[in-house]
Each structure stands twice: as C-alpha cells, then as structure tokens.
Structure 1
Amino acid sequence: MRQRPTVDTWLTFGLTCWSGEPVLFSTFHRHQEVELLMVDTGGLDYLMGALPLRLGPGRLALFWGAMPHKLIGIDPGTTIHVVTVPLARFLQWRLPSGLAKRVVAGSVVLDRGDDRIARDAASFSDWRQDLASGDGQRCELALLEIEARLRRLAMVGIARRRGRDDGGDVPGRARVAPVERMMSFVSEHCADNIGVTDVARAADLHPDYASALFRRVCGIGLAAYIAQHRIAHAQRLLATTPMKVIDIAFACGFGSASRFYAVFRRECGQSPHRFRATVQRPPA
C-alpha cells in the first residue's frame, strides 16, 4: 500500500479525470474542485470531515473538496476513477433537486446501487481520453456527459452527513470515535469563539491528550483544523450568497476582518474577493 508522507493541505487540480490505484495521505487535505469518485474494485475508508465513510465496488460519491477529507484505509487491489470539476463550472450547471446546494453545504452524495458499474467505468474511461486529447469539441462532449451523469445522480442520490455507507468498521475505530466527536463539535460551533479546550471538553478528554490524539489520527493540529473548517464555511458563503465579506468573516467565527483575510489568504492563496470572483465567473 502506497502512502504519501506529506502533502499540502490545500491542493489545486482543475478539470481532470484519472483512473488507477488510490494513495494514502498522512493528513487531511482540501481542494477547490467538486470531486466525483467511483470505486471500481476493492474498497476505501474515508473521513469526510466528521463523517466516516465506506465505499465499496461500484459506489459513486460526489463531494466538494473544500471539506477536509482523508483516505484512511485501502483494500488490497483497489482501483478507482476520479473526476474533478472546478466549482464555477459545477455551479453553472444549475443541477436539479438541490444537488449543488447539498454538495456545497458539505454533504457527500452517493448513488443507491451498483447496477451501473460497467457503464460508469466505461464513461470514466471516455472522459479521461477526451479531456486528455486537447480537442476542444471532445472536451466539451466530456463535460456534457459528466453534467448528464450528475443530473442522473440528482434523481437517485442520497446525501450523507452521518453514519456509514456499507456497514463494518473503520480502521482504528477506538481512536477515531473521539476524533469524530471533536470534528462534530467543530462543525456545529465553528462560528462560536471556541478553542482547543472547548473541543477537548466536548469529547471528555484532557486538552493535551485530545490534541495529541487528533494529530495522530488526522495528521493536523486541532487549532489548524478549526481554522480550515471556518475557511471552508466562508468559501461556501462566498460562493453561494451575496453576503458582504466582513459579515462572512464574523459569521464564520473570526474576531476581525484582518484575521479573516490573513487566514483566508494563507489557506487559499488568494483573497476572499478574488475567490468569490473566480467561482462566480462563468467558465470559458
């Protein structure tokens, strides 16, 4: 099993499609694109924020990469297919049944069955070849087909925020359970004036032990995770509401505009205004 020892917490992929063996990351990571992932063979165990998620063969999952996520387990022989779509393009599609709203709000949307395994695998193969061709018409065709697949997913998909997909247990469950409680507390209270002590108390742990456990399981410190969660919430508001940036700063738990700007630029590599302009600009 391959493992990537270090990784930037914020990645940029753009419009991509690839297939192959998944790679373990040592820490949570995030990216601005919406990700459509299918397990072809084997299985994966994820932590999607506070959500433990098991994906078996044929399972299709759609989520926004700005939500901190981490691959924590890979079955032997696992292969996957992945498409990443820039958020601006995804929002422009105006998908039905509130699909975009659920995804940007942090839900993982799953398909209901495995009756489309062969067709979906063939589609990913076509999309990969079309997007790599450099031919504008083939790229547009791939985008139309990806949009159509998401529209079909909107008709049958189920949104997950808690619970598991295929049952069973995630690796190291005894360690993961209190971390889930800490993540859930951060998710529910990130707009409040909370710190490491408050998060540890929610899991009935000493702050020092809570911090060490969280870093051991997640590969990131508690304070950094709180900041990342607040930034992800700010990105959702910037992308989907007309709220003023200063109001978003306070709504996401930042005590001042200057602090918000500094953390946002550090985490995202751009200002909140530039991020909003990027995701609301119609794709070329």
Structure 2
Amino acid sequence: MQAKHKPTSFDPNRADFEPYGLTCTQWQPSPMQRPDHHNEVELNFLKSGSVTYIHGGKKTVVQVGKLSAFWAAIPHQIIDFSHETEFFVATIPLQHFLQWRLPEEFVQPLMRGQFLCEDSIDKASSDTYLFQHWELDLLDDLPRNEKPVILEMQARLTRFALNCPAISESQSVRNHLASVSDSGLNKVEKMACFIAKNYTQKLTVRQVGEHVNLHPNYAMNLFQKTFGTTLINYLTQHRVSHAQRLLSTTDMPITEIALQSGFLSISRFNDAFCRACGCSPREYRSSLILTEQ
C-alpha cells in the first residue's frame, strides 16, 4: 500500500506549540535545528533504519518494529538518523488521549516525560498495516474518516498499555481517570499545556488555576487526581528536563542554565536536579562527556 503524498519533515519555522492535530504520516527524518513542542501524544513506528532523539534532555533511540509513545509537549529533537529509515509518526490530541482513560500506570509516566517503547516486535507487521491505513484515511481531511482512526488508535494504545512493563496483571484493571469528568479532563489538558508553554517563567499554582478559572486548591486536586503527581512536581520535572537538554547540547554555564530553565536560585536548581536525576548538574554533564569519549 503506497501513500499518496511525499513524506513530510520538520519545519523549523513552525510556531512553537502550533498543534498538529490528529495526523499520521510517513516522516522524512532530518536533523532538527531546534526542539519541537506540541500538545499531542506522539506515536513513532520505525519500519527500518534508525532515529535518535534528544527527548527531555536524554538521548533516546527509536527501535525498529517497536511502537513508541511520548507526550510531545516535552522538548524533543532528532539529532541522528540513517538514510534508509522508513519512519511513521502519528499525533493524537491530548483531549482524545485523556478521554480514553487508559491505565494510570501508562498515562502517568507518559505525562511526566517518559519515552515509552514496547519490548517486543511481535506486532510489527500489524503496526505497519495500521499506520499505512491511518495515513490514507486521514489524507482526505474528512471528519468521517477520523472516527475509525481514533477507535483503532485507542485499541492499539490499550494493548500497548496493558503490555507495558510498568503494569502488572493486578494493576492493569485499575482505571485512574474513570472518576474525572470530560470537562475536568479538558481543564487538566489546558493546565498541562499552560505549564509546558510557561515553565521557564516564574509560575505559581494560582496562575495555573486562574488560567482555567479554578480555585488553586481545586486545580491542584484535579491535576493530581488525573496525573498522579502534584502540579508543582510536574512543573519541576519540565524545568529539570529543560536543564538536561541544555546540559547535554550546550556549553552554557550551569548558573545560566538554572535561570533559563525557570529556577529562581542555583540552590533550588541543584536540589531539584539531584532529586530527579540522582546526581548534580555538573556530574550529569561530566557523565555525558565520558559516554561520548
């Protein structure tokens, strides 16, 4: 089955956080001049070749034949690829993803910035078929074509979630999002996106709550009920991920990295970074240098 249009590639001039919407396309990987951010869950499927990202400050390799997923509001940037690469990319609006109410043990790591990858290539053949069909179905940009794609994406991610190594058989029946209304999920989506767009600035819980017209305490409770982590921890994780990316891709002084990542002092930065990464920012940068030698 052949696609009816040429593969696409990253446009460095696209506006930051400009939405892609519901899409599926064969992607032509290229070195990205800057990280991309967008408020969708992104699926990657590699038929052949190799693609390497800097994702949230960490080097991540997309594995052939294994479905991968990540929340694309986390900074991600292709830094290496092979020329024979066949690479599918699908994007799912966050509201759709949250409404599917997948197991919390799958949703929470994804929303905290983990790059999730299946541990088997058993579904490679069927995934090739699915991604090709999704691409063709969405090519005409007709609303009627979206429904079967959405249903199939939901079913595929449900299988992914239930077979995720982080989820045991006893945990997989739990459904953390079931008690959150659709209107609540919409507000959580807006809060998550607001944080992702503004984490490098001075940001308070009150500001996040006001953005969605909620009292700060209610906003915090709703956010934690959905994602299983506090709003403050979520904000800090974004800042730490930003700092990891700067530590790994620039020679910028650590104090400047702390400020550009949204931390108000070097002591708060060091404390948050050590708790998240198990080492100091300086040790993290040194370990990257040793790895490359």
Task: Name the TM tier (shorter chain).
Answer: 0.5 to 0.7
* CA shift in 2, pair 1:225/1:70, >3 Å: farther
Which of the residues 71, 74, 96 maps onto 1:67?
Answer: 74
SS of aligned partner of 2:261: helix
After TM superposition, list the pairs within 5 Å mapping 1:76-225 onto structure 2.
Answer: 76-158=83-165, 191=236, 210-211=251-252, 222=257
**Which whole-Å deviations, capped at 9, do the CAs of 1:192-227 have from their partners, x for residues lacking one?**
9x99xxx79xx7xxxxx83189xxxxxxx9478614
Give the residue type in structure 1 aligned to 2:86.
Answer: T
SS of aligned partner of 1:210: coil
**Contact 1:45–1:71 (Cα < 8 Å) also in 2:** yes
* CA shift in 2, pair 1:224/1:61, >3 Å: farther
SS of aligned partner of 2:21: coil
Give the whole-Å Cα distance in 2 for the aligned partners of 1:225 and 1:9: 17
SS of aligned partner of 1:36: strand
User: What is the CA distance between 1:21 and its match in structure 2?
Assistant: 1.9
SS of aligned partner of 1:30: coil
SS of aligned partner of 1:47: strand
Give the gaps of 5 or more residues in structure 2: 1-8, 167-232, 265-271, 273-293
The number of residue pairs the alignment matches comes to 185
**Contact 1:4–1:24 (Cα < 8 Å) also in 2:** no
**Contact 1:14–1:85 (Cα < 8 Å) also in 2:** yes
Give the residue type in structure 1 aligned to 2:50.
Answer: G
Give the whole-Å Cα distance in 1 for the aligned partners of 2:150 and 2:11: 30
* CA shift in 2, pair 1:3/1:85, >3 Å: closer
After TM superposition, list the pairs within 5 Å mapping 1:34-73 onto structure 2.
Answer: 34-73=41-80
Identity %: 27
Give the whole-Å Cα distance in 2 for the aligned partners of 1:143 and 1:50: 30
Which of the residues 31, 35, 56 maps onto 1:28?
Answer: 35
Give the whole-Å Cα distance in 2 for the aligned partners of 1:8 and 1:212: 28
**TM-score, normalising length: structure 2:** 0.54
User: What is the CA distance between 1:131 and its match in structure 2?
Assistant: 2.0
**Contact 1:59–1:113 (Cα < 8 Å) also in 2:** yes
> Which has the larger strand fraction?
1
**Contact 1:8–1:29 (Cα < 8 Å) also in 2:** no
**Contact 1:37–1:83 (Cα < 8 Å) also in 2:** yes
**Contact 1:109–1:158 (Cα < 8 Å) also in 2:** no
Give the whole-Å Cα distance in 2 for the aligned partners of 1:85 and 1:191: 25
**Which whole-Å deviations, capped at 9, do the CAs of 1:126-147 have from their partners, x for residues lacking one?**
1111222344443201110000
Partner residue in 1 for 2:21: 14
**Contact 2:44–2:62 (Cα < 8 Å) also in 1:** no
Partner residue in 1 for 2:261: 226
**TM-score, normalising length: structure 1:** 0.56
Give the whole-Å Cα distance in 2 for the aligned partners of 1:139 and 1:190: 33
Give the gaps of 5 or more residues in structure 1: 160-187, 204-208, 214-220, 231-251, 253-284
Cα RMSD (Å): 3.7
